[in-house]
Amino acid sequence: MILTTERMILRPFEEKDEEAVHNYAGNPDNVVYMIWGPNTKEQTKQFIQDTKKNWEKESVTNYDFGIVLKETGELIGGCGIYLNDTRKEGMLGWILHKDYWKKGLMPEVAMELIRFGFDELQLHRIYATCNAANYGSYRVMEKCGMQKEAHFRKNRYGRDGSEDIWYDEFYYAILDEEWAAR
Ligand SMILES: CC(C)(COP(=O)(O)OP(=O)(O)OC[C@H]1O[C@@H](n2cnc3c(N)ncnc32)[C@H](O)[C@@H]1OP(=O)(O)O)[C@@H](O)C(=O)NCCC(=O)NCCS
């Protein structure tokens, strides 16, 4: 399964990606607002194995993709769409190596994931959540035409920057009919 955008190729992770994945997943600066990480090398290895197993399932629900820059062939991040039990709703997730932030790359990726979700997986609704302090992430949601549906106040406990606190969460979504009418 391969998806393409103007500047990137989205394809399943492979063992050879271990170093490139660890360059962002193992870097504390890169995962400040992620609910996981920074990962150990062992966790990075396990992540790649887990995504491979998910792709082999008869009915795939976790569509994880590595993000490869067409120009250089480098793997610069990861993204995915994760279906619920009804297979009618999907959640988006994304991370880019910090050297590639602020170039408009993730909105390009997210638009392709949304197209894939609606046009190919026939989803009804696609959503994404983030730490309310993660401006870069909710701007990606806005740039893709997702609407803010909720601001949960201090509903998540975990690492925010370097300390564990209760933090706010934003929730954005887009419907199939909005996608069709865009
Ligand atoms: C969030 C992330 C995916 C954004 O991707 P991107 O390709 O840099 O997105 P864009 O270039 O379209 O930037 C979106 C906006 O956020 C800003 N921005 C991007 N990354 C930022 C960052 N780390 N800190 C502050 N602002 C950031 C951009 O300047 C831009 O601002 P504008 O809309 O006012 O012009 C990327 O920063 C990232 O991988 N962050 C670490 C992982 C992460 O937090 N993932 C999301 C978890 S929910």
pLDDT reported for residue 159: 83
The reply to whether omega before 107 is within 30° of 0 (cis) is no
Report whether residue 34 contacts ligand 1, using a CB cutoff of 6 Å.
Answer: yes
For 82-95, what is the mean pLDDT? 97
107 has pLDDT over 90: yes
pLDDT reported for residue 162: 77
Report whether residue 104 contacts ligand 1, using a CB cutoff of 6 Å.
Answer: yes
Say how far apart CA 163 and CA 176 lie, in whole Å: 38
Report whether residue 35 contacts ligand 1, using a CB cutoff of 6 Å.
Answer: no
Say how far apart CA 83 and CA 61 lie, in whole Å: 5
pLDDT reported for residue 160: 75
For 81-95, what is the mean pLDDT? 97
85 has pLDDT over 80: yes
pLDDT tens digit string along 50-62? 999 999 999 999 9
pLDDT reported for residue 137: 98
Report whether residue 130 contacts ligand 1, using a CB cutoff of 6 Å.
Answer: yes
For 97-122, what is the mean pLDDT? 98
Say how far apart CA 31 and CA 49 lie, in whole Å: 20
How many A from CA of 86 to the centre of ligand 1?
31
7 has pLDDT over 80: yes
How many A from CA of 56 to the centre of ligand 1?
31
pLDDT reported for residue 25: 98
pLDDT reported for residue 49: 98
Domains annotated for the chain, with CATH where assigned, are: 3-180 (3.40.630.30)
